[in-house]
Structure 1
Amino acid sequence: MIVKMNQFNMKDYIKPNESFVVSGKIIPTFSNNVWNYTVERFSEPYSKKYEEEKVDISYIEEKEKVVFLYYVDNNCIGRIKMRSNWNGYALIEDIAVTKENRKNGVGTALLKEAIKWAKENNFCGLMLETQDINVSACLFYAKNQFVIGSVDTMLYSNLPTANEMAIFWYYKF
C-alpha cells in the first residue's frame, strides 16, 4: 500500500534507508547528442550507505512537495521524496527501498505513484540525480525508461572520500 506522508506516519520516513553494494560504476558516453553507458564491474565490491535524508513538515504542508511511503503489514519498506523544480520537472530527491524488498517491484510502484503525482500537478516529467557508482540504481532508472540528460564531474569533487560523478536521469512525459 502506498500512502502520502502525513504528520502521523512521518516518523516512518527513515526506515528504508539501508546500505547498498557498490559493484562497479556506470561509464557514460555522449555521441550524436545521445547519452549511452557501459558498466565497469569492480573486482572488489564494497558497501555504501547514504547519510540520512532529512524531511520536514513542508513535505506535508506545501503543494509543490510530497513524500509517498510504501507499506506492507504496517511496516514502511519504501519511500519517494519529490518537489517541484525550476525547469518544469518534478525532482525526485530520494527514493529508497529496504534491502530485503529490493527487486520486488516496490521501487517501480513508487515511480508510478511519482508519475501520477507529477502529471496531476502539470509537470513535464521527472528528473533525479544519482552517482555513477550506484549501478543498481542507474540500471533501475534505465529499466523504467529514464534517460541520461547530463553528467556532472564536479558535484562531489569537494568531498574527500567521494570518487564519483553525478548522473542526471530524466523521464519526459
Structure 2
Amino acid sequence: MNRESKIMISPLNTELIEDINKTNDSFKLYGRVVPSLQSGKWSYEEVLLDEPREIRFPDDKLDWDQYINQEDKTLFLAYMNHTCIGQIRIIKDWNRFCYIENIATKKDYRGSGVGKLLLNKAEEWAKQRKLVGMSLEAQDDNLGACQFYVKQGFILGGVDTLKQSSNADIGTTLYWYKLFNEPIK
C-alpha cells in the first residue's frame, strides 16, 4: 500500500451502491477455532487445517436503499484513490449491540488497516446511538477472521452448532462481542 494514499470511509449513497460487492474477494480457510466452555467462560484452541482452501461468499443481493440515511442501519465503504477496497454493514440490534452483518476487505488490501478503520467507524456509529457494544458471527473454520476480531478487542461469547446445520460445509457458528464498558455483574 502506498503510504501517500489515504483511505476514505463513506456512508452508502445511491451512487456508491454499485461498489458494494466489489469487496467480495475470495479468502483462505487455513485453520479452525475449537471452542470450549468451562465454568461459564469461553476459551478456544486454534487448529490448523491439513489442506487450506480458498472460498468466496456469494454476492449479497439486498435492497441497498434500506441502508441509506437510516438511524438503525448503515453501510460504510472504504476507498483508496477512488477504488472501493472495503465495506462494513451494520444494524442496531434488539439487544442494544451494533450487529456487524458483513465486513470485507479486498484481497490486495488485507493487513493494511482497512478492516480496523471500518470497525472503528462502526464503533463510532454505535456509540453515537448509545449501544453497549458490537457483535458478529463467524464460522469456526475462518481462523483468519477470528484472529482479526480478537486483535480488535472482540471476545468469544457463544457458540451455535445447529444454526448452519442445513449447510454441510459449515460446522459451528461463533458469536464474537466487543463491549464498550465492562458488563454489569
Range of TM-score over shorter length: over 0.9
**1:92 equivalenced with 2:100 (yes/no):** yes
Q: Residue 68 of structure 2: SS of its match in structure 1?
A: helix
Q: Residue 53 of structure 1: SS of its match in structure 2?
A: coil
Q: State the distance in 2 between where 1:127 and 1:153 align.
A: 18
Partner of 2:77: 69
Judge conservation of contact 2:24–2:104 (CA < 8 Å) in 1: yes
Moved over 2 A (4+): none
**1:53 equivalenced with 2:55 (yes/no):** no
Shift of 1:119: 0.2
Structure 2 length as normaliser, TM-score? 0.90
Partner of 1:136: 144
Equivalent of 1:121 in 129, 143, 153: 129
Q: State the distance in 1 between where 2:128 and 2:69 align.
A: 17
Equivalent of 1:151 in 119, 144, 159: 159
Shift of 1:24: 1.5
Q: Residue 74 of structure 2: SS of its match in structure 1?
A: strand
Q: State the distance in 2 between where 1:15 and 1:46 align.
A: 21
Q: State the distance in 1 between where 2:9 and 2:61 align.
A: 20
Aligned residues: 172
**1:21 equivalenced with 2:28 (yes/no):** yes
Q: State the distance in 1 between where 2:33 and 2:141 align.
A: 6
Structure 1 length as normaliser, TM-score? 0.96
Q: State the identity as a percent.
A: 36
